[in-house]
Structure 1
């Protein structure tokens, strides 16, 4: 009897195991994924604001009236409901100049009406000031652009001549194009020039421009004789933009020596329009390569001569930016980011003699996170600078006196981070910003909004509920709509007082009960201690919709540990690509370990010259902690996958933690940081290129491979040189290691996310972790 019982138990386990990864699982994943979002009721209302003290919130099935003073709600009358349809308001036009889009997650529609008799062009101005076409609108027609508050749009004619430039507001807006802008008066033109850089001085009397790239010409207006101020030597050229002093006596223009730019060759094996392959060469600068380094040059406009500026305090720039003038034209200043990203200075240059002084500097032994945690705003009227820094170990704001370079005060402080500046009111001396980690007990990655005074007083949090937040303001800025959610909580929408942060009322709450009836369950956010036994590490766990706690499930980790951000999803998602994989019979997890961004500086610094670490010791500790109370997680069968930096991370897991991870799909990985793009890799690995690049290379350690591996790459990857993957393959072959190599023809970066690539990735895990042959064709 005992032997029979044991045989029966073994058969039941095998049957339960092999019931996973079948064609039915693939079909269910496709079907449920396709309808998951439609089974969630979105109760996020659209709000119509009035001038009567009452607002109206419209959802799919009702309209409520809200008394903004008391927060009391009632059902709207039929007449009110008819009036509460979303009303767009006219959007004020910006002066043409250097307006750029601000980052925002607050989606708003922008209607553009062409009331002219000619076709107009719609162009988005990105955060770098670059224009990208979004099509045209015929005469008499209109189009609604899906965009975000703070994004800038330029409307032009077919030849690119401007009609209008607008910034998307925090409410549904309309732009009416009725004709060409009126010719500005001389006074208006001078005012506009004062607020922008360009070839003409603010007073309109002098023009400075570049000819042929290497000759600077200065001439009086309206019809003065041009004079060459400077002719550069061969191999050096000017930038075309001049920055004038407010009094029009001086200007700054940069010049740089040209450098040879590395090119990467891509081969398109199967072009659609011809039989023979196509070869494409792209400019692709890699770590350690020479870079073009512009240096500012100061000129006396009247004397038509250069005032020499000493480069001793900025000898090796990665970047020189944020050039701005003092209100009295006595000095210009700029931010110097030294190559290697361990020194950043605010420098001031005397306009009379070119002498340079240090106004402020930040230094570190690791890296300054210039690409994610940079904010500089010069306030010339008050001789102050708003500055962002991690100098105390957390990302905070500082107010600097430009006269003496002293920090007047630290504006924000504490063991939390300022994520982004949303708005600065220089008159009221207040700052609206996004913050992370401000509420103890909540996930420190949840975005909250707060306001603070320049002097650090009056810190007021405008959001508080336990989740990730996004807000939009009423047109009068007195109220805000706060929508928050978590991976385990559908969106909740609240109306709050924008001046006090006080809750006025709840407006709506999402409902996913219909989706749960299918067997689907919400993703489970979890925290556990990391490698040091003290630091909280946050992640998420996803189960299949036919989950059975009596079964054993292999675990698959989705990894991306790039130091530029965190990556575990925080807002509510009914379905992600991780759900697609879970449906086949897996528990899928994603974790943010040490070395990723937006915790303390110490947490982040783990990545310094150490990308092979990838936070993996923290990930393993998290998975083991989760499995300790979840016996259905089978840690003898753990897989891992990722793309790009995640491709590097996932293979690193196999090479350095092969006792834990048994199967890996690595897609388009930057496996050797010397092979990848310059900015991202020098940001975390430093400059000059040293032995740490070799030490962190997956090519170096390829011979350590254990377990099953699939390498995936697109033959037309413009982001990461495809040779990076093939060099790993070469090293594995030399080490006589078995692995699979999947080259996806015609694919760019993220080849494993193509339909074919993702199906092959799923098949790989079904075969190697479930032990069954997938049947999907």
Structure 2
């Protein structure tokens, strides 16, 4: 639709019945530039670069397949032309070679299976070598073969029993639910739990005799979730008050073969909804004595996992996060009396990030490994399970990102952290080992960059992969004992990418809203950038407090770069309120999601424009998905003086409409007036600038009605906007079609170019 450029401002306002600020009025009356052959060439070059970049053989990481000696391994290496080869590495011998003759293997496998194999694209689903790597056993086309690598004779085999060292559980001891359910046998195998009519029974397996332990259970408030003590003498069970989770619905409008919409409904808890609650009771099997545990009712996350004290089944502990996420406890229960005591009792005025709380129980010493931000940074503590005394293992103005392993024998902790090194990006992840006493901290990944570690099955060695957004990855084989590098496995190169003409992203740091705090982001520029011209700026935003989001690994290919090629500077920033920095940095999000770090983002972009004047921050767009969709729309509501154009996909526009667990974590409980005050829907009347809403009608993450309610509020406020619904699509930015519409929206409203309609058969694009 062409804009009316010939009306005088007053007459235009009268006809439209809408009010504009002076800048918006001027923009609205400005005619679009014609779609030129020059810009068509820009679009073609951008598309051509996309294709060229995606055809470069990327080896930014390797997946090692460990062999029998637990140190040798093979991996699949990508080659140009979407081909690949297999590489065999014996790091202790310092050797690396192509695993076999791919042409010979393709021939013998083709002959043996009767199905042609391409040497550069061998279809192998499983594979392992013998001790000397002279015999290969593999599965191809659903059949197993053994190949002698000296003669390349392939014979069918059924001897496929081998230890797959790549299918092992994680080192990490994550918190989780216990083993619950009806008819659970006691550890000694003599008894079994049964629940009937809402009550608890114990059945003797030798006689099938049942003993009823409770009489006050009903179908409405039944007993359930029994957990045995290790000595089979005690049972913990819960009397519950079940609450049915409320439901949300959506309609599939375009189901093939139908003429009617299909209604879909599913359970979906929203902030403030009532949950099922549980009261714990202890049952002494010999005496049939029932003891009520003297503790708060459990009303969040269901019955907890139980940890019995080693050698003394009189005591057990469990973890409790209070609804509202402002208190976390590790509670010990005396099963003889039902009395409890708090081994750990952490309280905060803001939030405790429940998903980042790590606990590991050391039964032989009655100790607990626990993470907390109580000193202002996420660190690890050793807690005496008897006295509750705490010893801080890690300290400093840096963040423990994850605990990978707890070695109870050597009393060592293996963990990931960021911010330890003051001379680099504070988000770069490094891997460390430290003693329980806080001494002997060793950086297993000393090189500058963002690291990922893969340990050998016996954890004596590891592969360290590290890179930066503009520096290709390096992969090294190192020794765990001292971190010594034994071999460089691969060293990536940016040369093939740079040969296409692409400009690699630039990490950029500027001060935040307080003029003190470092804010980190990344800049993507068009390959044809002319520093004498100016380019609109587009921010890719996601301000969800659950993590940080600016990429740190090598990133020559991305949607951001693809958009930049059309004539934009595209940026991504982690403002205050996101995770992986100090507690104070994170706390900005508390009951304050509408903030979204905007003051930091704006300050960052102003600093960028000062350094790079070709970045035109008078023309700033923003796009995001999910929480990013909430943020991108919020940019036009709360900061229209800076942001002019936004594309918002499947946004959580009102935190009362979205999922309970995510929103109560940051916005608190109970639901108060601050929920409404920060809602995009409540503030829809403040819209300035150009807004495109995108939503999939089948979104089961953020209910689609969040976007529809936003549209309804905008209509009632008489605001202009565009909305795109994708039939049948779930939680997404709109897929290929939505991403195309997003780009064209920015071309129209930031470059001021009206693209020809694709519906015109003579269109040249």
Same fold (TM over 0.5): yes
Contact 2:543 2:628 in 1 (8 A): yes
Contact 2:53 2:500 in 1 (8 A): no
Contact 1:614 1:649 in 2 (8 A): yes
Question: Which position in structure 1 is the counterpart of 2:14?
Answer: none
Matched, 1:653 2:652: no
Question: Secondary structure of the equivalent of 2:661?
Answer: helix
Question: Which position in structure 2 is the counterpart of 1:745?
Answer: 727
2:412 to 430, 433, 448: 430
Contact 2:52 2:500 in 1 (8 A): no
Distance 1:292 1:166 in 2: 41
Residue 17 to residue 551, structure 1, CA distance change in 2 (3 Å): farther
Question: Secondary structure of the equivalent of 1:39?
Answer: coil
Matched, 1:547 2:545: no
The TM-score with structure 1 as length reference comes to 0.79
Question: Which position in structure 2 is the counterpart of 1:469?
Answer: 451
Question: Secondary structure of the equivalent of 1:711?
Answer: strand
Question: Which position in structure 2 is the counterpart of 1:360?
Answer: 344
Correspondences of 1:615-694 after superposition (within 5 Å): 615-694=597-676
Instruction: Quote the offset at 1:234 in angstroms.
Output: 3.5
1:262 to 224, 236, 246: 246
Question: Which position in structure 2 is the counterpart of 1:310?
Answer: 294
Contact 1:218 1:304 in 2 (8 A): no
Contact 1:40 1:513 in 2 (8 A): no
The TM-score with structure 2 as length reference comes to 0.81
Question: Which position in structure 2 is the counterpart of 1:568?
Answer: 550
Correspondences of 1:327-342 after superposition (within 5 Å): 327=310, 328-342=312-326
Question: Which position in structure 2 is the counterpart of 1:38?
Answer: 55
Q: Give a deviation string over 1:503-527, Cα, whole Å, max 9, x none.
A: 3343321122122122101111111
Contact 1:37 1:574 in 2 (8 A): no
Question: Which position in structure 2 is the counterpart of 1:388?
Answer: 371
Bigger mean CA offset, 353-362 vs 223-232: 223-232
Distance 2:40 2:611 in 1: 31
Question: Which position in structure 2 is the counterpart of 1:201?
Answer: 186
Residue 500 to residue 48, structure 1, CA distance change in 2 (3 Å): same
Contact 2:35 2:753 in 1 (8 A): yes
Distance 1:33 1:640 in 2: 21
Bigger mean CA offset, 314-323 vs 629-638: 314-323
Question: Which position in structure 2 is the counterpart of 1:237?
Answer: 222
Correspondences of 1:364-763 after superposition (within 5 Å): 364-371=348-355, 373-407=356-390, 409-750=391-732, 752-763=733-744
Residue 769 to residue 686, structure 1, CA distance change in 2 (3 Å): same
Distance 2:536 2:615 in 1: 6
Gaps of 5+ in 1: 1-13, 87-108, 114-136, 143-163, 172-193
Gaps of 5+ in 2: 1-30, 80-84, 106-123, 129-139, 146-162, 171-177, 759-765
Residue 19 to residue 636, structure 1, CA distance change in 2 (3 Å): farther
Q: Give a deviation string over 1:149-187, Cα, whole Å, max 9, x none.
A: xxxxxxxxxxxxxxx99972499xxxxxxxxxxxxxxxx
RMSD: 3.4
Question: Which position in structure 2 is the counterpart of 1:271?
Answer: 255
2:305 to 318, 322, 327: 322
Distance 1:57 1:734 in 2: 59
1:29 to 46, 57, 82: 46
Residue 776 to residue 482, structure 1, CA distance change in 2 (3 Å): farther
Count of aligned pairs = 665
Q: Give a deviation string over 1:727-774, Cα, whole Å, max 9, x none.
A: 222222222211112122211111x34111111111111111011122
Instruction: Quote the offset at 1:319 in angstroms.
Output: 5.2
Distance 1:32 1:138 in 2: 36
Question: Which position in structure 2 is the counterpart of 1:281?
Answer: 265
Distance 2:614 2:508 in 1: 16
Question: Which position in structure 2 is the counterpart of 1:765?
Answer: 746
Instruction: Quote the offset at 1:336 in angstroms.
Output: 0.8
Question: Secondary structure of the equivalent of 1:694?
Answer: helix
Residue 618 to residue 395, structure 1, CA distance change in 2 (3 Å): same
Distance 2:36 2:408 in 1: 64
Question: Which position in structure 2 is the counterpart of 1:774?
Answer: 755
Contact 2:65 2:74 in 1 (8 A): yes
Instruction: Quote the offset at 1:43 in angstroms.
Output: 7.7
